[in-house]
Amino acid sequence: MTAFAGVYPALITPMTHDGEGSLNEEAFRAVIELNIRAGVHGFWVAGGSGESVYLTELENNRIAEIAADQNQGRINNIMHVGAANTAQAARQAEHAARVGVEAICAVPPFFYGVGDEGVVEYYRTVGEAADLPLFAYNLPSATNVEITPELMQKIQDGVPQLRGLKHSSPVTDRIRSFADMGLDCFTGNGHLLAAAVHIGAVGVIDGPPGVMPEMWVKIWDHIQTKDYSGAAAAQAEASRFHSHAVTHFPGSMKALLSERVGIDCGDPRPPFLPLTEGEKTLLIREAKDQGWL
């Protein structure tokens, strides 16, 4: 597959309740199938909603293997390989390419401010390691690195594998700038799909669409038929669910998906705190009262 557009859920990473909180492969595969049946166009695997920075390198590699195996090329997997150091990110990129994902993505190097040239060199090394379409992940609230159009131009000039980005910055008007650069720019805000496509976004990547994908596929379908009033109405309903789904991020998404797929998706990886039983009960009851479950 070569087209990157549409609804790309940012998948959760289900965990077990075996005392270690290890990867729950059965639940992960079930979540993938739920989304494919709902008509999504691709996946953002092991990103922020997938808790990748709290997982080991081996765990992230195993997630890439499962995603590629379960998907079998039906839709695109964009595997997150970003890490605080370049060597780890490059190793994960090489592994992701070897096991058969369609593209990779990465947050810029975080914690230390390495400057524009350091960011470009990081992406150049990661891109070369996989030689797959590469998506930058602009998440300044977590990385303290804002990928501006000026920095993106430097990355584009130095990284031939660059295909686009997930733009999770509040500076939404830059979507047009990135689109004008010929990049596939996804909005990282599930509230904004209907609006973002009008300023150049190719789709949405976010966690809540992976819990209730039908809602965002409905928005996308309305956009494709130019039924903009229908898209706006569908967006309003999806936005209501989005706010509910991130009440206790990311544990609330795991609890809702546990209810949907009938397999316990576990708790978030510490230092995230688990939901209390009372919080889970209220979350599910309110979702059922709204007709979402």
Of 20-24, 28-32, 214-218, which gets the smallest average pLDDT? 20-24
Amino acid in the structure at residue 42: G
Tell me the C-alpha distance between 258 and 16, whole Å.
Answer: 12
Structure confidence by residue, pLDDT tens digits, 196-208:
999 999 999 999 9
Q: Is residue 1 pLDDT above 50, yes or no?
A: no
Tell me the C-alpha distance between 211 and 214, whole Å.
Answer: 9
Q: Is residue 13 pLDDT above 70, yes or no?
A: yes
Structure confidence by residue, pLDDT tens digits, 235-261:
999 999 999 999 999 999 999 999 999
Res 19: pLDDT: 61
Q: Average pLDDT in the 17-36 region?
A: 91
**What Rg do the C-alpha atoms of the chain give, in angstroms?**
18
Q: Is residue 140 pLDDT above 80, yes or no?
A: yes
Q: Average pLDDT in the 34-61 region?
A: 97
Cβ neighbours around 55 below 10 Å, total: 18
Q: If pLDDT is split at 50, 70 and 90, which confidence band does 2 have?
A: low
Question: Residue 129: phi, psi to the nearest 5?
Answer: -65, -35
- State the pTM of this model: 0.97
Cβ neighbours around 197 below 10 Å, total: 21
Tell me the C-alpha distance between 244 and 255, whole Å.
Answer: 12
Q: Average pLDDT in the 169-186 region?
A: 97
Q: Average pLDDT in the 4-13 region?
A: 98
Structure confidence by residue, pLDDT tens digits, 76-91:
999 999 999 999 999 9
Q: Is residue 280 pLDDT above 50, yes or no?
A: yes
Q: Is residue 166 pLDDT above 60, yes or no?
A: yes
